[in-house]
A = this chain, B = another copy of it.
């Protein structure tokens, strides 16, 4: 910050009087947006909301990320704001939530200089299926984006979120957060494959997952029309595991 040293950048210019707060200049709009991922119908999907069309509304009827202005009276910090937005749209209180970055410029919102703090969240499919909010809807990820053209720079943010997710899935246990509390290893592998959009070797996958201090078997099996599969759950530690190597050295 070191704001006190600022000698330029004031807007009103009416800070000649000594003893002023030094804060009488225009501030950007501050928002929080959340890219919410789930694996539904064998595809990676993102939750979007349709914007209203009231007076002065930018991008009427367009789809956008769930989010909104930071409420300095209700939100203690940025993450609390993100959790609030998430809860409003999905009802889910605490999935995996990670900050993605921030996007701010003079032009991204026609109403003026604005900056958004973007988060991305992972949740099990069942958690918000269908979503709580009537204006919310799931869209599959195609390539690195979604079909509808999004409001603001949200297309760019979704793209960054997909890239970050894909990148981290190569060497972390993040996909575990896209599954319910109990899951089998083939189910976990399937989620990896859906997110990465390429098949993985079963044997290497199992070896890696079982040798990481990540999951533990529960005393139940998933039964089907074939050999039952062992059910696992995440170990206590909620923090994701980082592997020393990526899955398929690309190429």
Contacts and interface: CB of A to CB of B under 8 A. Distances in A.
Interface of A: 1-6, 8-9, 11, 18-23, 25-31, 33, 49, 51-52, 54-58, 64-78, 99, 101-107, 109, 111-117, 135, 151-152, 154, 244-246, 249-250
A77 B18 CA distance: 30
A101 B104 contact: no
A22 B110 CA distance: 13
Given A19-B56, A27-B72, A77-B106, 11 more contacts: A1-B33, A1-B116, A2-B64, A2-B151, A5-B49, A9-B73, A18-B55, A70-B104, A77-B104, A78-B115, A115-B115
A55 B21 CA distance: 8
Given A69-B25, A104-B78, A54 B9 contact: no
A4 B54 contact: yes
Contacts of A5: 49, 51-52, 68, 135
Copies of chain A in the complex? 2
Nearest to A135: B5
B71 A9 contact: yes
Contacts of A54: 4, 22
Contact of A28 (B4, B49, B72, B107): B72
14 contacts: A1-B31, A1-B69, A1-B116, A2-B66, A9-B68, A23-B112, A25-B69, A25-B71, A27-B70, A28-B70, A70-B113, A70-B115, A76-B107, A78-B103
A14 B244 CA distance: 55
Given A70-B115, A113-B72, A152 B1 contact: yes
B115 A117 contact: yes
A175 B132 CA distance: 47
Contacts of A65: 1-2
Smallest CB-CB A-B distances: 3 pairs: A9-B71, A77-B105, A72-B113
A241 to B, nearest CB: 11
A105 B117 contact: no
B29 A29 contact: no
Contact of A56 (B22, B68, B106): B22
